[in-house]
Structure 1
């Protein structure tokens, strides 16, 4: 009895954003971006909703039919990508949507963008969220498995940024490796960029 997965559609947008909000509200990075818990409660869903919009526009969202988990994926081509002059400036969108006076909304995207690999086309796991009540059941691994199997079959690497040491250890078990250059948020936590080579 495997996890039933479908591709999210525009009608799922708010439900997926709500899932991300619940899963990441107490995450170290979210707590750094929005230090005040009450303020975070009000704006966090809008902040992460931009990720949902980007994945719906430019990539895909694998979504459990029971709403328990979702993974946001982008296929990133080789070469330069993103940046302040890009037509679609995601860090600026996040700040504008959630908290225009809070530069941390934008800074987190700028800093992770600076270390994002550009040499090879890859699958970028933008975010993965599991309902807090269902965490620890292996749903995230099951949700990622079809994409990782396809990466292995097609010879495509994958990339992500882990936002906690706990999540980094989980990703390591699935073949991701820390790139060696952590992102240090000013007066805040670390983020760990991770690269996964396709397995033959």
Structure 2
């Protein structure tokens, strides 16, 4: 079986990983609900470019597998200043959301009570090229973040709006901590947490 080549991402990986994330999230219920259908692919590209380059690479951790066929973007307890960056990017994220800006705000408000208040490694985004899904790339690209969180004695957290992902994340040691439907006709969403050490 192919052993994925996993390494920390660099700035040079951004175009490739953005392409992977756009393909992986093309029909994802959450982004379809929170980002305008008008010019959706371009909006999704810009959102992922900002998230990877301004949040993940500058304030968190990003790993790629097989030169970008899979990517995992984390924020960590050491992420200093990410809150300010999210605030600075707020107007641009609202512009990206377009006519779904209100739905995006409502979704964030609905998710907030289910997010941890203690220090965690937060898996903000993970994507695998659609034609490579099922090859173990997703687990391989997530594993370095989980391992680092374990070494630090810190739990991991994520959110997903695709029920098929729940079983996948459970295999990595995550358990559902909340299940709820986003307002305004939004998708069912699961909050999941993995205790340090599995």
Q: TM-score, normalization: structure 2?
A: 0.84
The answer to whether the 8 A contact 1:72-1:127 is kept is: yes
Distance across 2 between alignment mates of 1:30 and 1:87: 20
Alignment of 1:30 with 2:31, yes or no, is yes
Say whether residues 1:102 and 2:103 are aligned partners: no
Displacement, 1:178? Answer: 0.9
Question: Any stretches of 5+ residues in structure 1 without a counterpart?
Answer: none
RMSD: 2.5
Quickly say closer, same or farther: Cα 1:143–1:87, change in 2 above 3 A: closer
Cα separation, partners in 2 of 1:60 and 1:193, compared to 1, 3 Å? same
By how many angstroms is 1:115 displaced?
2.7
Whichever structure has more helix as a proportion of its residues is 2
So what's the TM-score if we normalise by structure 1? 0.83
List gaps (5 residues or longer) in structure 2.
Answer: none
Distance 1:110 1:91 in 2: 14
2:46 matches 1:49: no
Moved more, 51-60 or 19-28: 51-60
SS at match of 1:76: coil
CA distance in 1, matches of 2:13, 2:112: 27
Q: Which residue is 2:147 aligned to?
A: 149
Matched residues in 1 for 2:111 and 2:40: separation? 21
Secondary structure in 2 matching 1:51: helix
